[in-house]
Amino acid sequence: MNDYKKKCDTVVEALAKVKVVPVLAIEKVEDGIKMCEILNDCGLKAAEITFRTKAAEGIIKEAAIRFPELVLGAGTILTLDELHRAFNAGAQFAVAPGLNPVIVDEAVKSDYPFFPGFCTPSELEQIMQYGIRMMKFFPAEAMGGTKMLANFIGPYKHMGIKIMPTGGVNTANLGDYLSIPQVPCAGGTWVGKAADIEAGEWDKIAGIVKDAVTLAAKY
């Protein structure tokens, strides 16, 4: 368990340096690679490639080779098959919107850094039982945003928890989240919107990425 914790901590430390983790749902592998290239070139060295599309595995596999500096994660991991495919493809971490004990159990046994989702104190405590201290607060804004997060942190901050809020985080409220000591990073769904990627709006996306880097650097 100590080795597993160290492995998870290494990922958390890397994500804490970038502060914004783009959450991406991309339909084509070539578009995913272009997006990762922009992230890499613009200095936002992380990405969560969600398994909401069939291209996710292929994107991770190729991006892991082409952009070794990127901290590549797999998102929306809902099955054991997706969990293993993600890490076999080269993912360095994986996250889920909720807490599935079967998947968490397998991730810990397989030594995969895995950050489950929670939105209740009971789920948070279940996650801690696995020795996991990094978790995803989802959907963050819909569940009360920073005010709700503060209520969660109060009883548990002495346990060393780290939280990545995702869902509704944007340029207007990013600073509010990152100002919380227990929040090393936040999921950024605004950084690479599916519509912009599908339309090939790469210059627009690059501008958004650069703005995200500048904004995150303030915290």
Query: Which one of 48, 57, 82, 141 is the catalytic residue?
Result: 48
DSSP H helices, the chain, are: 2-18, 29-42, 56-66, 80-89, 101-109, 121-128, 145-156, 174-178, 194-198, 202-216
130/108 Cα distance (integer angstroms): 8
Residue pair 69/46 in contact (Cβ under 8 Å)? The answer is: no
Structure tokens at 95: 């996250």
Q: Among 19, 45, 61, 136, which one carries the catalytic annotation? A: 136
Does residue 136 have an active-site annotation?
Answer: yes
Q: First CA to last CA across the chain, in angstroms?
A: 31
H helix or E strand, kind and range, residue 192: none
To the nearest 10 degrees (0 to 180), the angle between helices 145-156 and 121-128 is 50
* 30 classed as catalytic: no
**Cβ neighbour number for residue 78 with a 10 Å cutoff:** 14
Q: Which of 215, 194, 216 is nearest to 205 (CA)?
A: 194
Residues annotated catalytic, as ranges: 48, 136
